[in-house]
Chains A and B, each alone.
With several copies, the nearest count.
Chain A
Amino acid sequence: MNLSLSDEQEFLREAARGALSRFDTIAAAREALEGGELPDLWPTASEAGWAGLLVCEEHGGAGLHPFDAMLVLVECGRVLAPVPLIGHLPASWLLDRGGYADIEAVASGAKRAVLVPAQPPSDLSDLWTWEAEAGKARVPAGDTTQVAHWVVDAPGAEVFVVVGPGGAVSVVEGASVESAARYDATRSLGHVSLVGGTSTRLDVDPADAANAWHLAQTLIAAESVGTVETCLEMAVAYAKERFTFGRAIGSYQAMKHQLVEILRVLENSRSLLYYAGWAGESKPEEFALAASAARSVSGRALDSATRINIAVHGGIGATWEHDGPLFFRRAQLSRRLLGGTGAATDRVAGELLSSAGA
């Protein structure tokens, strides 16, 4: 038994951190709220080989596993880097399995792909569903519905890997995207209209379509873990240097215990990334459970960490110039995308109840 990172994984992580550090992504996140341009990190991602991370080697990819992709996403999350991997990676993985002709262009990053994901059936419903435009219900995937809402990383993608009714997967080129930025300017988001695009059926199993959904869950979970890491570091540093009533505020139990609470949920989230990574590679029958658990715990961690970070900083933490609000904005939107933290939590329960009922 050994959960240490391999040398290659350590290298992947360090390289990601290094590559992203060449941009001031956090300052860009603030400026983008007022219409500033975000840096285009896709050339960096392509160069680093992230675009083909999950594409097999014979198709020009790196042939790596979900856990390796998560390591990159953690680094993106740490600095709010807008790299459209949550859309691209699961899409590339499906394209690779389905024998997509131009897969090498996808693996190299020359063509950017995006998953138009559908939530797979659960113990409560045998429908595949898309995000509704608004409101608590979800809508049946594809067919009559021709617009998929709130698709992560859709703006700027060329190849749309669309999961439709029954988990059928199609490649659509020429779909039109209405950009739909909300609250967190670093989160690329769009409504995808499939009317007018050309659609080709991709030969993959619905089980793969389900795994693409779960893979996206693990990636957004990993990204959240990175953001939580930064919030904890910021808050701890401030708690050591800010004094009140003659003591560093981090010496007060009310502060200390909240900071430890971030650490607790961060450690739990990290453990579940390992679980999801292991299941994704070696235990496919537990991947839905593991990915959903990772999303659930890290999603809640993201919410509480970004709030505690602001509270530890007192009034100043809620001001525009401070970085805390940028992480808070990230959390508020993230937890409501891709089914939201809530759907992932529900799936954890559903998986367990199905097993217990069997």
Chain B
Amino acid sequence: MDLNDTPEQAAYRIQVREWLGEHREEAPPLRAPEGDEEAYLAARRTWQGKLAEGGLAGVVWPKELGGQGLGPIEQVIVNQEIGDAGVPGILDVIGVGMLGPTLIAHGSDEQKNRHLGPMLHGDEVWCQLFSEPAAGSDLAGVQSRAKLGDDGRWTLNGQKVWTTNAQFSSYGLLLARTDADVPKHKGLSMFIVDMNAPGVTTRGLRQISGEAEFNEVFFDDVVLEGDAVVGGVGNGWGTALTTLMFERLTIGLGSEGLGYRADRFAAPIAADPNARVDPDVRKRLGEIAADLLALRFTAYRTLTALQGGQIPGPESALAKVTTVNAAIAATDLIADVVGPEALDESSEWAYAISFLPGLKSAGGTEEILRNTVGERVLGLPPEPRLDKGIPFSELRAKERSATA
């Protein structure tokens, strides 16, 4: 049991640290200055380009595609050193972490050559266009339709939702239905979509807090070239599963607890002389903190597994359940201790209290995560499926009649 680097890893860490030492002055600040988001985005893109040139982006991408051809531990070392240097990481985590690897696995040579370079360098940011208003948990139920015309081009109509970064993305990877007359998993295809094409509209989706954390994206008769398909027509579901696997990996390698650290929550309580000696407050804080501390070593265990060549399984989703619920309990506790002042709109706690209910469903509801883990990890039998083998078009008709 050892939390230290191997000699090779230590050498790599020094190399990364040296590069950061030389270039940290060129980095933009961690957060955008008030009212200057445009310029800040541009600076973040430039910085991503520098990181890519320095070999600190696409660490696990193959060398021939502009990456470093290294392993997940090296990626974590880069993440840690970037964190310690107090500079931002790459802007396009979704592209480089999840969508690029999907293209690498399923894309054509032309697609890789055209897109991977600008993605890696931050010249073109990408977004993930999977979820829809009626297809969240049941992702294979997407209704966005792409129709093949006689000219070999596709016409896309539909709506996506919960799309991070759509407002400044150049491209999106989009899951659409290309055949409604086969069972739902079988009629899907994956497309590359130019976010600046005519017919694409992006609208910010405001959350409880009032901030627009996500976007809705609308497609009205958007024309896609025949070569926009990734991984073959009708193979969209398999391609999507690859993306989701890389999503889990990105989460598994993420920093502990999405920034919800035990010490952050302890600070406002330590500041209140009544609260810090109150047995009820201490019990609540102790339980929350112990849960969050566990996640730190859960991440190390995941890394150990990765080093051994294992891919993190769906059980890593349980860390998200623990994180979100602990963070909810922690912000509740803090508001109980601080009182209504903690609910002032300018308070970081009010923001977290607003943000967390949505986070509970983001990336799959807690219920769906528990189903998946129960079935895939514990081997429990699935629920009876009413949609098995039924053509998608009939499914929708059935639902409409049931709620009519």
- Chain A contacts to B: CB under 8 angstroms: 1-6, 33-34, 67, 123-124, 131-137, 150, 180, 182-183, 189, 232, 236, 239-241, 243-248, 250-257, 259-261, 263-264, 267-272, 274-275, 277-278, 281-282, 289-290, 292-293, 296-297, 300, 307, 310-311, 314-321, 325, 328-329, 332-333, 336-337, 340, 342, 344-350, 352-353, 355-357
Contacts and interface: CB of A to CB of B under 8 A. Distances in A.
A246 B399 contact: yes
B210 A33 contact: yes
B63 interface: no
**Chain A: interface secondary structure?**
helix
Nearest to A277: B1
Interface of B: 1-5, 9, 73, 76, 131, 133-134, 136-138, 141, 161-162, 205-208, 210, 262-263, 266-267, 269-272, 274-279, 281-283, 285-287, 289-291, 293-298, 300-301, 303-304, 307-308, 315, 318, 321-322, 335-341, 343-345, 350, 353-354, 357-358, 360-362, 365-367, 370-371, 373-375, 377-387, 390, 395, 398-399, 402-403
Given A250-B381, A296-B286, A355-B266, A180 B2 contact: no
Contact of B297 (A6, A124, A274, A356): A274
Contact of B340 (A1, A3, A136, A189): A189
Given A135-B339, A314-B136, A315-B162, A278 B3 contact: yes
B295 A259 contact: no
A337 B335 CA distance: 11
Nearest to A131: B339
Contact of A352 (B262, B297, B336): B262
A307 B282 contact: no
14 contacts: A123-B276, A135-B338, A243-B402, A246-B386, A247-B384, A251-B383, A251-B384, A260-B374, A271-B301, A275-B294, A275-B297, A289-B293, A328-B357, A349-B286
A352 B300 CA distance: 22
Contacts of A3: 1-3, 297, 300-301, 303-304
Contact of B274 (A133, A137, A250): A137
Given A260-B378, A297-B294, A311-B357, A320 B206 contact: yes
Contact of A297 (B291, B336, B353): B291
Contact of A263 (B210, B378, B398, B399): B378
A349 B289 contact: yes
Contacts of A254: 367, 370
A315 B358 contact: yes
B270 A318 contact: no
Closest 4 CB pairs of A and B: A318-B358, A246-B387, A320-B206, A345-B286
Given A4-B308, A316-B133, A349-B282, A332 B353 contact: yes
B362 A315 contact: yes
A250 B374 contact: yes
B272 to A, nearest CB: 5
**Chain B: interface secondary structure?**
helix
B73 to A, nearest CB: 7
B315 A267 contact: yes
Contacts of A333: 340, 343
Given A319-B207, A349-B283, 8 more contacts: A1-B9, A3-B300, A183-B343, A307-B357, A314-B137, A332-B335, A336-B340, A349-B266
Contacts of A245: 137-138, 141, 383, 385-387
A355 B263 contact: yes
Nearest to A124: B277
B289 A352 contact: yes
Looking at A267, A269, A315, the one whose CB has the most chain B CB atoms below 10 A away is: A315
A131 B338 CA distance: 12
Contact of B278 (A136, A183, A251, A264): A136
